[in-house]
Structure formats: structure tokens, C-alpha cells
Amino acid sequence: MGNFIKRALFGVIFAIVLITGIVVHPFAFFAIFMGITLLAVYEFFNLIQKNDSSPQVITGMIASSILFSACFAYTYFQNSLLFAFLVPVIVLIPIIEMYRKKENPFGNIAYTMLGLLYVATPFSLLNFLVFPFGDMHFHWEILMGVFVLIWANDTGAYLVGVNFGKTRLFERISPKKSWEGSIGGGIITLAIAWLISIYSTDLNLIQWILTGFIVVIFGSLGDLVESLLKRSINIKDSGTIIPGHGGLLDRFDAILLVSPMVFVMLQVIKEYFH
């Protein structure tokens, strides 16, 4: 199978799985995005191990699964009990490290916590994007819109950058990215945000435009942060789980910073404008 065909085929499969998890049903969202969260956390820990560190993979995976489940239970069932179970697991992380007899124990503790903070938390906050207003309604259009805006930003930045890019954006971390590409991608993203506002009533025009700005700024920064992680370990792709596309962190690098900022925006809307 040629590389282009393989990339296209697995790209379509990935998109179908993702869209299924977003639009079909809250339980489909839970199952698919819980799986994505755990695979992404495992991928992150695997990268860290290549940097001669030993994060607590099993403990980190358990904590990540509890965190995602707790956020789902809180937003869907209005039940916060699972958050209480997360606390002892986090408390156990430094205790467990005392008995592992690994080098750089506090580095291992920090990397385990970072897996929760950098990867598991942004994915868990997606629950608040599909249940943002406490009305028990599954607002899948918001999450779908965020991903469409991320894809628009990435695609626009690439196309404009390839054809017109001359001024490097952050050459030390990502030599191929340009200011021209970023600006072009931003313009396209805001145009798409305007189009989404016509068909989706979950957010109004100003709120969708604000979401577009968040994607343009923090989606690009998320890409750079993940590039910084890979460059520090001297690898090209975060993994090989998606043939022809690299790892999950490569595919979801933007959402890792976009999700928390959209969460903040939606909480402000819920409190003052909804």
C-alpha cells in the first residue's frame, strides 16, 4: 500500500471514529474519548521513558481514567463523588515512588503528574465542552465546531505557509512554520467560525468568533509545545498508532491547550451570559 493511500485511508478511519464519538451519543463520547485519553497518556509516558526517566505508568493511567470518568459523571449525572477517589491516587504517587528505587525519584513524580496535567486534564475538560451549561443537554456541536476550527487552522496555515511563507514563526522549535502561514490560517479559521455560527445556535456569532481566536492562538501554541517536547527527546513523531499520521499527541497537540481555554470561556458564558 502506497504511503499516500495508507495515510488517506487511516485518516478517514480516524475522522470517522472521532466524529462518531462526538455526535452519536454521550456514552459513545465517553467510550471513545476515554480510550483516546488513556492511549494519549500512555504515549506521553512512553516518550518520557525515552528521555531516561521512569514515570509511574500504571498509576498515571488509573488517575487519568478516574479524572475523565469524574468529569463525565459530574457533567452528565451531576455527581461529583468520583473526584474524591482521584485524591488518594494522586497522594499515592509520591508514596509509591519511595518504594520503586528508581533514579531521579522527584523527576519521576513530576513527569507522572505532568501526564495528568498536560494530557489527561485537557481531554477530561472536553466533557465540559459537550455539557457546558448544566442543562443536561448534549451540546455536541460545540466540540465538533472546535475540532473543525482546529482542522481549518492547521490546513489553512499549511497551505498559506507552503505557498507564501517566508518569515519563520519559531525557528528554534519548528523550522517550517511561518508568520504568513499562521496569519493565513487565522483568517481562514475566523471565516469558518462565522460560517459555523450560521448553522449552530449553541453559541452566538461573537462566542464562535472568540472560540476561533482561542483556536488560532492556543492551537498554534499547542502545536509548538508538542514540537518542543519531541525536539527535547530528539524524535520526529510522538508515536505510530495512526499509520502515516504519527501518534495521538501529534494529532491532538492543539486540543491540549485549546480545550482548557474554551472551558474557561464557556464557564464565563454560563455564569454571566447564559
Q: pLDDT tens string for the chain (274 positions)?
A: 556 676 777 778 888 989 999 999 999 999 999 999 999 999 999 999 988 899 999 999 999 999 999 999 999 999 999 999 999 999 999 999 999 988 889 999 999 999 999 999 999 999 999 999 888 789 999 999 999 999 999 998 888 888 876 777 666 677 678 878 888 999 999 999 999 999 998 999 999 999 999 999 999 999 989 888 888 888 877 766 766 667 899 889 999 999 999 999 999 999 888 6
* Cβ–Cβ under 8 Å, residues 18 and 147: yes
Dist. CA 21–CA 191, nearest whole Å:
26
160-199 burial by CB neighbour count: b if 16+ within 10 A, else e? bbeeebeeebbeebbeebbebbbbbbbebbbebbeebbee
Every domain of the chain and the residues it spans: 26-133, 138-274
Check residue 4 and give its pLDDT: 60
Query: Residue 143: which of 49, 8, 24 has the closest Cα?
Result: 24
Rounded to whole angstroms, what are the CA distances from 173 to 104, 165, 180, 198? 27, 16, 17, 37
Cα distance between the two ends of the chain: 51
* Angle CA 141–238–108, to nearest 5: 105
Cα(43)–Cα(47) distance, integer angstroms: 6
Helix, strand, coil share of the chain (percent; to 5): 75, 5, 20
What is the pLDDT at residue 274? 67
Q: How far apart are CA 249 and CA 244, in angstroms?
A: 14
Whole-number pLDDT of residue 165: 67
Task: Give me the pLDDT at residue 139, please.
Answer: 94
Note the pLDDT of residue 198.
95
- Cβ neighbors of 29 (< 8 A, separation 6 or more) are 21, 22, 130, 138, 140
Question: In Å, how far are 59, 104, 154, 190, 216 from 219, measured between CA atoms?
Answer: 29, 32, 8, 13, 6
The DSSP output letter for 242 is: B
pLDDT, position 113: 97
> How many other CB atoms sit within 10 Å of the CB of residue 50?
10
CA angle 222, 30, 75 (to 5 degrees): 85
DSSP state of 268: H
